[in-house]
Chains A and B, each alone.
Chain A
Amino acid sequence: MAERTTRRGGKSFSVTRLPGFAPIAVVVFLVLYAPIATLVGYSFNASESVSQWGGFSLHWYGVALQNGEVTDAAITSMIVAGFAAVISTLVATMAALGTTRRGHVPGQTVIYAMINQPLMVPEIVTAVALLIFFAMVKQATGYTGLGYLILAHSAFCIPFAYLPIRARLEGMDLSLETAAADLYASPWQTFRRVTLPLLMPAIFAGAMLAFVISLDDVVITEFIKSPGQDTLPTFMMGQLRRSMKPDVNAISTLLLGVTLVMLSAFFLLSRKRD
């Protein structure tokens, strides 16, 4: 939407024509991408050092992929992110339907704020709260599996899945649903045949975003992981403390690759409008 307004007003005013726009843009992009480019470059380094170039090699990718701890951590990451994406998207879809497909309810803003709570509360606060809470649950039930991580990740992923789905629902033409109802479709048929297909791209986009957010989390995971549940980011944190080896660059690059693919998918899906 923001795009459309700037384009329409392009003739009279464009931020790109302000003096100093180009240099500022270049500096911003440099700050954003130069460190990442360096890291990716050095992941192909042949030498033992993280910052001295010793020729091109895929050596550290081999080292990283052959390391059992790395593959274990990667599998844990994928399982947690997969479940968290599915659960949070389900909840987010229902929440989005509940908050858009009905008349105005008093306290709507409060409801939005409550759903988006993980965006406002500092991560470390959530982490400590969950640590204490889950410790009590663990003591009571004796269950120490991946369920805690999945639950926690699902919770903080909800707003990320919720926002694109709600945006889509708000932008959708209500007359289609009204027409379906006029043609004697039951509420379920309307939802199943009209609303859901139109909403699908946003649901996928929300799930991708949730997956990526879960994949990248460090703080909450570090606090609530049970024995043997290191994810890729927490595993990397542990590596940094001692001597940094170039395989960390390789793992980061792989992680970056997965994130990039998912984010591209997100943008492609969310662009596909009507």
Chain B
Amino acid sequence: MKKYLIATALLLSSTTLAAAEGELFLYNWGNYTSPEMIKKFEDQYGVKVTITDFDSNDTALAKIEAGAHGFDLAVPSAGFVGIYAEKGLIQELDLARLPNHANIAPEWMNVAWDEGRKWSVPWQWGSTGVSVNTKVYTGDINTSAIFMDPPEELKGKINVIPEMGDVLALATMYEGGEVCSEDPAVMKKVRDALLAAKPSWMAMDYSTVEKMSNNDYAATVDWNGSSMRARLGNADVAYGYPKEGFGLWMDNVVLLKDAKNVDNAYLFMDFIMQPENAAALSAFARYANGIAGSDAFMPEDMKTAPEIVTPAEFADKGHFVLACSGKALEYQTAIWTELQK
């Protein structure tokens, strides 16, 4: 009994005592950090890494904003990096301490939310497109028409993920507008098209991996990683990159303003930009990473995966879906509300 009491007492006090000694506190999405890669980092630098999970960008932001959170690094999505910077929650990076910064692939260096990568480094990225069961429908799947203007074979078997930003970005690009369009004429077309398409949909649901594998859905709006997992369960599933424009997203590592273990945080950010370690991250989370040269270290099934390696012909069709604001957000919310009825 006494032993347990002492153990608990130690546990209660441990976080305060050990702060100075080779520690690093990472705040990340759950089930997103490769344990093997963390082990390697810990062995290499003698730093103990503590990972804490969050389940949404909003929870993470709320906790960090409240202060005294105790984290050194966080991994917000692209649209949130700017908000962190604006609110003064993160520090500008000292690039001299990140020799591997040069490994960031050119297309991920000057991104809309962080010109020159002075505030954030890449973690993982992916796309939003469509998954189709090619046994049910044999036509062209690289189009948003799959859910916006569905072919006869797919009607009544289509799912749309309940993510306002992603779905409206696809729909707006399909109607010839830009992501976060504020043009009332375009948004009117988007609204009419979505409402006209809705009767052909079967559901608006997140569980696409399961239900595409089971043949419950014949098509769905989908993220590339979950499409890949669905294909591993059902070889008929294929991922389409809508040629009218598909969505892109990226999660990024940021250094928090009140980080206590700044040196270790720099070591870690540099470490994950080494191609080999970036590949280890991808092997676990099943998304691409944005580090040049990491392909060589990727697991075989990802090197060639059509969901992970964007075909060259569609490379310029991807557009980032950042959080829209003002009028654009008003239109989107109004359309989305109407769509949910």
Contacts and interface: CB of A to CB of B under 8 A. Distances in A.
B15 interface: yes
Interface stretch (B28-36, B132-140, B296-304): B28-36
B68 A230 contact: no
B68 A135 contact: yes
Contacts of A230: 52-53
A227 to B, nearest CB: 4
A223 B50 contact: no
Nearest to B9: A145
A12 to B, nearest CB: 50
Nearest to A50: B210
A145 B15 contact: yes
Contacts of B233: 48-49, 52
Contacts of A243: 31, 209, 225-226, 229, 286
B68 A235 contact: no
B13 interface: yes
A19 B32 CA distance: 54
B55 interface: yes
Contact of B14 (A48, A145, A225, A245): A145
B123 to A, nearest CB: 13
Contacts of A132: 66
B174 interface: no
Given A131-B62, A227-B27, A145 B13 contact: yes
Nearest to A133: B66
A226 B71 CA distance: 8
B12 A138 contact: no
B15 A227 contact: yes
B214 interface: yes
A51 interface: yes
A235 B54 CA distance: 9
Interface of B: 8, 11-16, 25, 27, 29-32, 35, 50-56, 59, 62-63, 66-71, 209-210, 213-214, 225-226, 229, 233, 285-286
Interface of A: 48-52, 68-69, 79, 83, 128, 131-132, 134-139, 142-147, 222-223, 225-230, 234-235, 237-243, 245
> Which 8 A-B residue pairs are closest in the complex by CB-CB distance?
A238-B30, A238-B53, A138-B68, A228-B50, A227-B25, A135-B66, A242-B31, A227-B70
Given A144-B70, A238-B54, 20 more contacts: A48-B233, A83-B8, A128-B62, A132-B66, A138-B68, A145-B13, A146-B11, A222-B54, A222-B55, A225-B52, A227-B50, A227-B70, A237-B30, A237-B55, A238-B55, A241-B29, A242-B30, A242-B31, A243-B31, A243-B226
